[in-house]
Amino acid sequence: MPPINISIDITHILGLCLKRIQHARVILLGSLPNRCLLCQQRIDQTGYQQLFPNQVLTGVCQVCLAASLYQHEVCLGCGREIALLQAYCGKCLKQEPNYVVAPCSYHQGLGPVIAAIKYQQQCAPLNAITQQLACRIALLIKHGIIRRPQVLIPVPLHPNRLRQRGFNQAWLIAKELSLLTNIPLDDRCLIRIVDTLPQTGLAGKQRRKNCHGAFALQPNMTYQRVALIDDVVTTGTTVDEIAGLFSLQFIHVQTWCLARAEAPGLLD
């Protein structure tokens, strides 16, 4: 009896297995204790997985998340409230500072949660806030406010700081954004060559001195448009220092972050 030739589509089978694993993961995570870090209420998943399939909302509930996002358009230069969806307010239009794209203000709700990601290794809300950042990016690209970059570049830590902390939150954000946007991640072209002091608590002049000469780029890069990824942008000293290096190679830079900490009084 001749042997029976059975053709098996391995790729199809692996795809089905992956979907079942993802579905099982969602069910498992959804069944675990899951409370909002802000209001301490149980996080309801109703409707969330329709927006983000195979994702479980963790760390922050839908109510607190929605309340903390920008409720108006903001200037990509300074973060000031503006009436229309556009890049700059009138003041920034004269100077055209680097674009900073964020879904929310650090001062209006999510600041403690984002700080906990860096300082307490509490990464539960990272994916949810990054998803909101991805939605904001998609909106700005759709309306031609920003251009889609060729690559995502996380702001690096010095090896000493990386060993001390154990992870780079900017890299984690960039990795999730890469999955959401299908933009590749490059964590080798930019390095931190000086183990600087933490920026927290430093005045503007001290921040600039602290960051000066702290980074280096690989020579002869082939990118024309890049997005720097960080958790929070405050004075913009760090990203401006890095942007200067890219400008020397005629590379356009924008910054994507989970939140921006606007200047005092700007939101009053």
- Residue ranges covered by each domain of the chain: 17-68, 77-190+206-268
The angle, 0 to 180 degrees and rounded to 10, between the axes of the packed helices 204-211 and 237-248 is: 40
Mean predicted confidence (pLDDT) in 21-28: 50
Contacts 24+ apart (CB under 8 A), 119-122: 121/166, 121/167, 122/37, 122/59
Nearest to 133 by CA among 171, 174, 86, 82: 174
Tens of pLDDT, residue by residue over 175-206, are 999 999 999 999 999 999 887 766 665 655 66
Mean predicted confidence (pLDDT) in 235-251: 91
User: What pLDDT sits at residue 182?
Assistant: 96
SS3 (DSSP) at 47: coil
> pLDDT band for position 45 (50/70/90)?
confident
How many percent of the chain have pLDDT more than 90?
Answer: 60
Nearest to 145 by CA among 223, 103, 84, 80: 84
CA of residue 235 relative to chain centroid, distance: 17
Mean predicted confidence (pLDDT) in 119-141: 95
Of the options 3.30.360.10, 3.40.50.620, 3.40.1160.10, 3.40.50.2020, the CATH number for the domain spanning 77-190+206-268: 3.40.50.2020
- Between 24-28, 122-126, 168-172, the lowest mean confidence (pLDDT) is in 24-28
CA distance 209 to 199: 11
Nearest to 127 by CA among 3, 250, 25, 237: 25
Strand 151-154 vs strand 225-233: parallel, antiparallel, or unpaired? parallel
End-to-end CA distance of the chain: give it in Å, rounded.
Answer: 85
CA distance 233 to 254: 12
Answer yes or no: is pLDDT of 231 > 60. yes
Q: Dihedral sign for Cα 198, 190, 102, 172, please.
A: negative
CA distance 133 to 173: 10
Structure tokens at 111: 């600041």
Answer yes or no: is pLDDT of 6 > 50. no
Answer yes or no: is pLDDT of 32 > 50. no
Computed on alpha carbons and rounded to an integer, the radius of gyration of the chain in Å comes to: 21
Burial class (CB in 10 A: 0-12, 13-18, 19+), 132: buried
CA of residue 266 relative to chain centroid, distance: 23
Beta bridge partners of 153: 228
User: What pLDDT sits at residue 212?
Assistant: 74
User: What pLDDT sits at residue 26?
Assistant: 46
